Structures are given as C-alpha cells and as structure tokens.
C-alpha cells in the first residue's frame, strides 16, 4: 500500500525531531496540556453553535479574546486570523488600495503580497533592500531610499513593507514611518515573523509601535499557536469597515475553533508568561552563540558587523554559515536532519536559518551544539565563498501583473528567455520570496539565477 499523509505524519512523530522551525509550539505538548487534554481537541472542533460566538460577527467570547489581544498590542482593533498571515495581507492591501493604484513594496516581499497586487490590479513600485555582500544576507530598506521613491512619485498612496525579514533582520521602521506619513501615504506592515517582539525589551521594536496603519503577524511562527493562526492589528480606525469587509471575504466561512483556541491560549501566554519565558530563551541562545564563536561556524546575524544602524536583528533567529568548512547551507541542513534528527527552518547555499521560541528547551540547544561540533570534526575544511542571494539587483516591470492573462504565452528553455517578459512567477520556497514576477523583463542576471532552479519558463508570446 502506498504511503499516505497520515502514515508520513506518524513516521515524523516517531522520528522525534528537534524542531528549529515553525510552528512556534515546536510540537511540544506541555504547553497545551496545561489547559487541554488530547481528548479535548476533538470536543472543541466546533462550528458556530450557540455559546461559542462567531468570528465574522463576534459579540461575546471571541470578541473578549480579541479585546485582550488588542490591549496587549495597544491597537484600535485586533483580529484572529485562521487562514494565516496571507488572508491578513490580502485584506490590508484591499482595505488601503483601489484598482490601478500604485503601491510601494520592498522587493523581498512574500509571494502573498505579490498575489494581492496582482488580484487587485495594482501597479507595484519596488524599493530594493540593502544586501550584505560578505554573507549574501538581505538587510532591508533604508529611509533615504524610501524617501527618494516617494518624493519622485506622487501617485504612490500605500507603502507595504516586510519587517523583520525571514532571517530576523530589522531596519529603522520608526524613521521610515515618519517618512511615509510625511508624504501622506498609508503604511501597512507584513510582520509575519514578529508576533513575539513585544515580549521582551531586548528584542527589536515591534511594527505595532511604529505608527503603522495596519500590522499582520503569523502567531504560529513565533508563538505557541497552531499552523494558520495569525493576527491583524488595526491602528487607523478609519479603515475598520474596509478591513472587516475584506476579512469576511478572504477568511474561511467555517473558521477552525482549534486554531482560534490556540490563538486564545497564545494571548494568555503573551500577557502572563512571555516576558520571563523570553528572557530564559535569550539566555539559551546567547549561550549557544558564545559556544559557536569557538568554532569555524559563523553566526551571521549575531556578527557585530550586522548590528549597526539602521539595521539590527531578532536574536531568537539564528543564521549559521558553514562555508568556512566547505559546507553549503543545503548540505548542513541535510546532515543535521539525516544524521542528528534536527530540522532547521530553511537553508540557502550560504547558510541555514533556525527559528527558536520559548518552547525550545535547553536539551534542544545542547543537541544542536553537539551536532554542529561533531559535523565540524567530520567534514571538509576548504572554504567556500558566499554567493549573492536569490534577489535581483534591478527589476523592470513591462506589463502590469494583473494584465498578464490577457496575453498568450509559450514555454522556452531558460537560455532562450533573455529580453523576454515572464508570464509566471518563480518562487523559491521557503522563504516564499519571488525571484521574478509576471510581467517583468528577464535580464541576464535573472537568467543566471533562474538557471539554478528551473530549465524552462513561461514567457509572453510576442
């Protein structure tokens, strides 16, 4: 009999992996067993019957839970999301733009942002993030470059930025917020990787403190919530009607009470436990980083050269390079999983990325260090130079993304696509950041990077 999903899941459970990836609960039952037993999960998988409120028109218990969430993040309104940050991102894009509007977006935005631009018929204006050449890490956008874009294009009405990055790099969002408001634009933030940032003063500033109009967060990435659990925080009360309208469109009409229950427990955690637990987590991470300083590994986001204004970093993310030992990130991830039952969040040619949360215990960190120490002793010593990240230095939009389906396409080999227009997006996943989007010119740089991933591409037929 063929292996089915339930069989694969059982096999993963038996493997007893050490999780340095999302979801933030780390498959650790202890958090949920405080208030839920395994039998309760089936009992609370409900629908909108009397006594358990309605997510799309909350009046009682769900409204009370969302009010507690709003109090913690100091928003005008906060909402539970059961379709991940994706539905929140789509909702805030639609709530702040009209068809054919221009929207300014950082080029390393998530694919859900690009999909929102395409669906609502928007004209994207990209701002390129700075890149650290020595490591290939994407650092983020600067206020100076953002102001250059806004001052030269009065048609831009909305600015959407990703903060922090997948690797946990943060930029001076407060300064950028002032620039955006100076030009009377709306600021909306994809803070999918930052739901925990208000937990402790040693963490970077949260987008919820920046003056943004709307902030969306993936609670399941950094908090003990089930996958697809997310938050939307509204700070501009004038957008309340629009936000709620689109949340009803983009969220399921049968919201999961299991996901909402995990979000409710996450709110209680934030209010009552997050500060102390985050302090303990930071202690574990600092200890690991100090141990790795004595090895040939490089912890990229903790290097002093990266902790410089306008960029800083989220210390709960750990970005490790083994290039000095001849190990690509891909190889390092493969060895950790295959030989040590440790799963990282994702890898690039240059490094691996680990997500840590308060549900990682001291044993997890010990196992990780001993595995890395063992790998260093066994594998090569020939240094590999870092390559640039999978992001283009320049982007030329030839056709508005929403109009691409008005054209015919043909499939060509990559070496025949230079100077052509892309019909489809190419999105390495993770991290889900498009290398090229529909309607963009395929440059020589794009050809070089695309050839590492695909052999053929759909292009617009002339």
Structural domain includes residue 336: yes
Final residue of a domain: which of 345, 378, 411?
378
- In a shared domain, residues 43 and 191: yes
Both 105 and 145 in one domain: the answer is yes
Within a domain: 64: yes
Assess if residue 392 is contained within a domain.
no
Give the model's pLDDT for residue 304.
Answer: 44
Q: What is the CATH number of the domain that holds 185?
A: 3.40.640.10
Domain finish residue from 272, 305, 332: 272
pLDDT tens digits for range 115-137: 999 999 999 999 988 888 778 78
* Residue 320, SS3 per DSSP: strand
Render pLDDT for 32-48 as a digit per residue (tens, 0 to 9).
887 777 767 888 899 99
Give the whole-angstrom CA distance, residue 168 versus residue 316: 8
Same domain? 176 vs 281: no
227 and 317 inside one domain: no
Decide if 387 is inside a domain. no
301: CATH: 3.90.1150.150
Per-residue pLDDT at 394 exceeds 80: no
Asked whether residue 415 carries a pLDDT value surpassing 60, the answer given is yes
On whether both 132 and 63 belong to a single domain, the answer is yes
- Of the residues 272, 303, 325, the one at which a domain ends: 272
Cα dihedral 437, 441, 445, 449 in deg (nearest 10): 30
* Domain co-membership, 234 together with 288: no
From the list 432, 388, 350, 352, the residue with the least C-alpha distance to 130 is 388
Same domain, 220 and 356: no
Residue length of the chain: 462
441 and 422 in a common domain: yes
Bond into 431 cis (ω within 30): yes
Range of the domain at 345: 15-23+274-378
Given a contact cutoff of 8 angstroms between Cβ atoms, the answer to whether 130 and 140 are in contact is: yes
**Residue 323 is assigned to a structural domain of this protein:** yes
405, two tokens: 């389906």
Would you say residue 386 lies in a domain? no
- The pLDDT, as a whole number, for residue 197 is 97
CA distances (Å), origin 277, targets 27, 107, 173, 284: 17, 34, 26, 11
Q: pLDDT value at position 137?
A: 83
The number of domains in the chain is 3
Whether the per-residue pLDDT at 309 is higher than 80: the answer is no
Strand partners, 380: none
Q: What is the pLDDT of residues 4-25, one digit of tens each?
A: 999 999 999 899 999 999 999 9
Cα 179 to chain centroid distance, Å, stands at 24
**How does pLDDT run across 151-162, given as a tens digit for each residue?**
999 999 999 999
Q: Is the pLDDT of residue 91 over 70?
A: yes
- 308 to 143, 301, 314: CA distances (angstroms): 15, 11, 13
CATH of the domain at 441: 3.90.100.10
183 and 125 belong to one structural domain: yes
């Amino acid at each position: 009999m063929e292996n089915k999903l339930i069989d694969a899941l059982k096999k993963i459970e038996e493997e007893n992996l050490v999780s340095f990836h999302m979801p933030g609960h780390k498959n650790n039952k202890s958090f949920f067993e405080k208030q839920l037993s395994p039998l309760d999960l089936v009992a609370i998988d409900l629908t909108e019957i009397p006594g358990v409120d309605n997510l799309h028109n909350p009046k009682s218990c769900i409204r009370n839970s969302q009010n507690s969430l709003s109090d913690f993040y100091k928003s005008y309104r906060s909402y539970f999301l059961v379709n991940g940050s994706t539905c929140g991102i789509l909702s805030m894009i639609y709530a702040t733009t009209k068809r054919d509007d221009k929207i300014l977006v950082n080029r390393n935005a998530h694919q859900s942002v690009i999909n929102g631009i395409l669906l609502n018929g928007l004209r994207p204006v990209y701002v390129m993030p700075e890149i650290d050449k020595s490591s290939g890490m994407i650092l983020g956008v600067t206020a100076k470059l953002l102001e250059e874009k806004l001052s030269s294009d009065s048609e831009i009405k909305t600015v959407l930025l990703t903060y922090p990055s997948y690797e946990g790099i943060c930029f001076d969002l407060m300064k950028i917020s002032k620039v955006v408001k100076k030009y009377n634009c709306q600021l909306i933030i994809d803070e999918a990787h930052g739901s925990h940032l208000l937990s402790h003063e040693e963490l970077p500033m949260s987008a919820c403190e920046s003056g943004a109009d709307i902030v969306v967060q993936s609670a399941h990435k950094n908090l003990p919530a089930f996958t697809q659990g997310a938050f939307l925080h509204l700070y501009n009360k004038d957008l309340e009607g629009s936000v709620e309208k689109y949340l009803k469109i983009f969220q399921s009409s049968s919201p999961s009470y299991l996901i909402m229950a995990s979000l409710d427990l996450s709110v209680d955690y934030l209010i009552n436990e997050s500060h102390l637990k985050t302090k303990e987590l930071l202690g574990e991470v600092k200890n690991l980083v100090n141990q790795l300083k004595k090895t040939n590994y490089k912890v990229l986001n903790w290097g002093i050269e990266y902790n410089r204004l306008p960029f800083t970093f989220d210390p709960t993310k750990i970005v490790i390079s083994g290039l000095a030992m001849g190990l690509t990130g891909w190889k390092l991830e493969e060895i950790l999983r295959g030989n040590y039952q440790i799963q990282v969040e994702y890898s690039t040619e240059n490094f691996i990325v680990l997500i840590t949360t308060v549900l990682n215990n001291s044993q997890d960190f010990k196992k990780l260090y001993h595995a890395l120490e063992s790998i260093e002793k066994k594998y090569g010593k020939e240094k590999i130079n870092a390559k640039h990240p999978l992001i283009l230095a320049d982007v030329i939009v030839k056709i508005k993304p929403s109009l691409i389906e008005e054209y015919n396409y043909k499939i060509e080999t990559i070496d025949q696509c230079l100077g052509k227009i892309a019909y489809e997006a190419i999105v390495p996943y993770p991290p889900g950041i498009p290398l090229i989007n529909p309607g963009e010119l395929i440059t020589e740089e794009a050809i070089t990077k695309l050839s590492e991933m695909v052999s053929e591409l759909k292009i617009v037929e002339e």
